Structure 1
């Protein structure tokens, strides 16, 4: 068998998507950005997990090196840069592309906005704010350090801590923990810190649902950042869509094998 599927991973759904790819007899080349994310995938003779934040040049080289014949993008809904890169390369190189997008939760609680609009508003002024956005966005809140009491939940890594401190977060207002966070622990943190406002992302996970529930229960203002607007060439939100895409690739591969050598 020649060729492989490039799976852009790191999310919990990408684990079962990798299993689908392998069950169809394809090699699976998974790219993630952290060593922790690489632990999602089991050892398998047809699976290679690559840890790197890919540049366009590097991604193009690896696509050629692994004879990639299709791309399944199962990255986080807010990982807009890697999705844009994959779409661009799929069009440039003529590779089939499929986006797996986990369903968005209904907008039933709180305020839905985007980051620039939030930072222009007065929604956080005078509030005790818990940010559950990941460390990449913390620097954007640095100018608000004197206008609000800011807390942040981050991953327990040296890089995350250094990034938070560089954004002028008080180390006493940081909690380092791997998700998922249970509803009981979430409630305890909000109450311990006397949180009045929580800022999160529309990630579509159980954690987002827990925040909606607790915001109603505790009377906390919940602000949810909308997903980046990306026009995906093709997308699905279920296993059937993944399997249909793989079947199309398998049929195309079989057709290529039946062509005469000088075709």
Structure 2
């Protein structure tokens, strides 16, 4: 039986590894968008690139005899989630979303929500002048006109223009630890942080470091996702659901 795993996240990797170890009889294809030049290796088959929209994904599901679909894409890859919901519906393919919960502010946080990168850029001049920008290399154009600010941009691959004129690139791949994030804020004299609400623990230490240092954080809210798709936050529950559907017992996600 064939499982298509729309991946690119830590949770998707964990699920692929679990399927390889615990369900070796399944054929698993992990699909990556191709936005990272050198993705980490994955067990099973790997395809890179888009499908050509919802209809293209539906066609791929049919042509490759996919028995179940897991949407474990990044919380900000909203379009593919809607495409997956449409493709699963028209092909009658069981679909589960493996989606990490968003972050929740705690006492001491100075968070400033934004509905988009453009909204985040608009509020920045009122909050600080030395920005730690952790939204990835995509979308830097939204900050390109802020010539009066200095940016530290962290991404896996080198940023491409258009981007802020006063900028230093920090090429790193998470997860990141708290001591390292504390040192980064101190060394670069950061006075405001910008992040997407990606959730998860791998990049959360920057929020703790900002709270400790009294640094404000601009948090870009997640885009909408299909509400009709069942969701779990844990790869273990996704594995239970998947095996249940494939063996006919309809695994239940709590």
TM-score (norm 2): 0.83
Aligned counterparts of 1:19 and 1:128: Cα–Cα separation in 2: 40
Partner residue in 2 for 1:32: 32
Partner residue in 1 for 2:244: 247
Partner residue in 2 for 1:257: none
Aligned counterparts of 2:183 and 2:27: Cα–Cα separation in 1: 44
| Structure 2 CA distance for partners of 1:180 and 1:124, relative to 1, 3 Å | farther
Is the Cα–Cα contact under 8 Å of residues 10 and 38 in structure 1 kept in the other structure?
no
The alignment's C-alpha RMSD in Å is 2.4
User: Please, which of 5, 9, 12 is the counterpart of residue 11 of structure 1?
Assistant: 9
Partner residue in 2 for 1:107: 105
| Structure 2 CA distance for partners of 1:190 and 1:58, relative to 1, 3 Å | same
- How many aligned positions are there? 239
Aligned counterparts of 2:72 and 2:122: Cα–Cα separation in 1: 32
Aligned counterparts of 1:216 and 1:38: Cα–Cα separation in 2: 31
| Structure 2 CA distance for partners of 1:8 and 1:196, relative to 1, 3 Å | same
Superposition map of 1:155-166 within 5 A: 155=156, 157=157, 160-161=158-159, 163=160, 165-166=161-162
| Structure 2 CA distance for partners of 1:68 and 1:252, relative to 1, 3 Å | farther
Is the Cα–Cα contact under 8 Å of residues 104 and 204 in structure 1 kept in the other structure?
yes
Partner residue in 2 for 1:235: 231
Residues 198-257 of structure 1, C-alpha deviations (whole Å, 9 max, x = no match): 00122222244312211122121112222212134111112234412431232179xxxx
Partner residue in 2 for 1:154: 155
Partner residue in 1 for 2:184: 189
Partner residue in 2 for 1:175: 170
Moved more, 97-106 or 17-26: 17-26
1:10 shift after superposition: 1.5
Tell me the SS of whatever aligns to 1:72. strand
| Structure 2 CA distance for partners of 1:205 and 1:183, relative to 1, 3 Å | same
| Structure 2 CA distance for partners of 1:133 and 1:110, relative to 1, 3 Å | same
Q: Which runs of 5+ in 1 are unaligned?
A: 254-263
1:27 shift after superposition: 1.2
Larger radius of gyration: 1
Aligned counterparts of 1:76 and 1:176: Cα–Cα separation in 2: 19
1:91 shift after superposition: 1.6
Tell me the SS of whatever aligns to 1:37. coil
Tell me the SS of whatever aligns to 1:166. coil
User: Please, which of 110, 129, 132 is the counterpart of residue 130 of structure 1?
Assistant: 132
Is the Cα–Cα contact under 8 Å of residues 29 and 46 in structure 2 kept in the other structure?
yes
1:170 shift after superposition: 4.0
